[in-house]
Structure 1
Amino acid sequence: MCDAITNAIKTVDANASIQSDLKTKIVLVETESSESAIKKAIAKVGYPAS
């Protein structure tokens, strides 16, 4: 899960800072990109964001 999400986010913002927790299924992203762009990228790889 982590690699797919990280790679998806990096396609939107290569400089994004990403932290994820598999147990809680929480991903924290610091980015210059919009929240909607990040959510779309994560959903595109099969992990819809809420």
Structure 2
Amino acid sequence: ASFRNVLLLGIGGSALGPQFVLSALGSGTDRMRFYFLDNTDPDGIDQV
């Protein structure tokens, strides 16, 4: 089995670093989908 979705939980630098790397190196054709929860906003959680 392989993973297709990644959920990263973090606030501040623990979320910003991975978001930067994904935006710098990722592409729209990647097989993995990344989701970031960086606060407790209910609307943001519902989107994930």
If asked which structure has higher relative contact order (CA below 8 Å, sep 6+), I would say 2
Q: TM-score, normalised by structure 1?
A: 0.29
